[in-house]
Amino acid sequence: MGRGAALSERSSGESVSHFAAIRIRLVGTGHLKMKAYSLDDIKSKELVPFTMNPTNRVIPTRLVNFMEQRASFELKTTELNERFRINRIVVFQRKVFSSVAGLAGHGL
């Protein structure tokens, strides 16, 4: 995973998870582009970008709908003078299979 990842102490890495959504508490200007990546960046999915505001009373959520063992998220801006500050990131995920063998027959 080229972009960095977090691994919990109790995770063996063998399970397959469904990454349902990502919620980001952020302020800024411009558009925040997002992408989800699988292990070794084999699969990727572009997410709907956030339109940032200097102040925000709502914490926006974006659907991810990505099923993999692990996922990393890329967050970036592409225009000059676009800035952002992230205060919190929450990833909603649920274990679907306890082993990679559960993927057989699901086309993943």
* Structure confidence by residue, pLDDT tens digits, 3-50: 555 555 555 567 889 999 999 999 999 999 999 999 899 999 999 998
Whole-structure pTM over 0.85, yes or no? Answer: no
| Sign of the torsion angle spanned by Cα atoms 14, 68, 85, 3 | positive
CA dist., res. 73 & res. 6, Å (int): 11
CA dist., res. 1 & res. 4, Å (int): 6
pLDDT band, very low/low/confident/very high, at 1 (cuts 50, 70, 90): very low
